[in-house]
Chain A
């Protein structure tokens, strides 16, 4: 009931925008609130969102995958694994706004120092902080899946003289691959919907970013920034943006859950 209500609300709320701009709303790159020449297009924000999230996923992969292997295969029990587990719980517990502060006061100066970007804001900075935020999501699901690989298959490989690395490569990854994939899809969905940290770090520029260090904006952070003062077409366009966000994360989530369910069945 509730989800239907949410979907209906968003659709109804965004009707005026789609009436005015049609599907051009999704493909137009113009975001202009000047009265009389109002024009709203979501493209820069869709691109900004996807660029940040994919980059974040790429950053997070080696870390989350290592943690998953550590907890799911190499050290299932013991001191080390419980330390790592509480570390991940802590990372998951830190509020988004605190990540934003850390990004602003710690990461941004480093980016400037390295000369990657003059102001330190932008896609790259946001993606870096996002990557750390989604480590817990990507790693905990993957660890669970890796842990579920039947031990008799691993034993079979060991009995043929495989090293542990070869068991990981040839038995664990092929058997747990789809589940690990699902874990990263769900983490990707998280990254797409993440708002505060990105708002504080991406630079909030309404143009299509041209490179990874460029300023940009994401759908979530645009809503956060402009919703408060919005009226009329701008308001409905922001609701439409919410609808897009809802649909994209919904689809990602469904794919992830479906793969997971297939895996556990």
Chain B
């Protein structure tokens, strides 16, 4: 019955060694991923913080001449990214206006009619949308809006592309949040004689508010940094532009423009830093909301 012999105890040591080695390798690999992250953040902050002054937010992007002049005088390149900030706000805002109602309705539908052919179809389509590369959405918005509607590049076209992009995240979070709400709550409202649509609007949606708004904010943060679809739709503009049928700038588009103009390269870092800060703040906001407003069932 005694199976402990010298060979197996040697083997045991080997196995324990293997086990330890594996955990060490795993932990090392897991945390190596921090290096690129730190490197990116370090680079942005180190090179970008100099540009961040008040005028960086209030002035539009400089043209090449201004930049060359400033450089020749060893000054910081003047101007800012006001056109990009305004453009991003307009484009993302409009995208949200399109995507939020549509996403809410689809999400409610999926959670209420959780089975059936139609539901499966809708779910399938949402899955598909989620996987579409953003550049393809740019092509779509070009064909749908740029050519027939605004006959030229426009902020509206950019919004359409981005709205399709944020839709799946809103649908998913709405569906999942509503599904978590116990059915007794719905039944309680219905048993009070509240009509169905009012039950959804006045009981279910407010109860699921934190989950849904988290989804919306994450959706916004996902599209705020998108560049590729905007290159095919909003194009970019050197001035602040409030007309949605006209080309418009956006912060990521400005980064791209600065990148392509050797004289403006110094501005990349400030613009990227601002963009990154916006996205991180949105993520933090989403986290805070989902923590603070968590409804206890």
Contacts and interface: CB of A to CB of B under 8 A. Distances in A.
A254 interface: yes
B56 interface: no
Given A98-B44, A168-B22, A224-B231, A239 B139 contact: yes
Nearest to A84: B30
Interface string B21-34: 01101111111111
B129 A3 contact: yes
B193 interface: no
A238 interface: yes
Nearest to A249: B131
A63 interface: yes
A168 B200 CA distance: 45
Contact of A101 (B134, B224, B272): B272
Contact of B33 (A2, A67, A95): A67
Contact of A250 (B32, B128, B134, B235): B128
B135 A193 contact: yes
B134 to A, nearest CB: 7
B249 interface: no
B239 interface: no
Interface stretch (B68-76, B174-182, B208-216, B273-281): B273-281
Interface in A203-257: 220, 223-224, 227-228, 238-239, 242, 245-246, 249-250, 252-254, 257
Counting contact residues on chain B (CB < 8 A from A), the size range is 35 or more
Given A96-B227, A193-B134, A224-B231, A165 B139 contact: no
A165 B125 contact: no
A102 B227 CA distance: 16
Contacts of B283: 89, 93
Contact of A165 (B23, B131, B133): B23
B131 A250 contact: yes
Interface core residue of A67, A94, A189, A254 (most chain B CB under 10 Å)? A94
A76 interface: no
A101 B260 CA distance: 11
Nearest to B235: A228
Nearest to B272: A98
B37 interface: yes
B18 interface: yes
A160 interface: no
A93 B221 CA distance: 8
A18 B58 CA distance: 49
B132 A193 contact: yes
Given A98-B225, A106-B43, A249-B133, 12 more contacts: A9-B143, A63-B30, A74-B23, A93-B280, A95-B275, A223-B232, A224-B231, A239-B143, A249-B132, A250-B131, A253-B131, A254-B128
Interface of A: 1-4, 6, 9-10, 13, 62-63, 65-67, 69-70, 74, 84, 87-91, 93-102, 104-106, 132, 135, 163-166, 168, 186, 189, 192-196, 199-200, 220, 223-224, 227-228, 238-239, 242, 245-246, 249-250, 252-254, 257
27 contacts: A9-B140, A13-B143, A65-B29, A67-B30, A69-B30, A74-B23, A95-B252, A97-B227, A98-B255, A163-B18, A163-B19, A166-B15, A193-B131, A193-B132, A193-B135, A196-B227, A223-B135, A224-B138, A228-B231, A239-B139, A242-B139, A242-B140, A245-B135, A246-B133, A249-B133, A250-B131, A257-B127
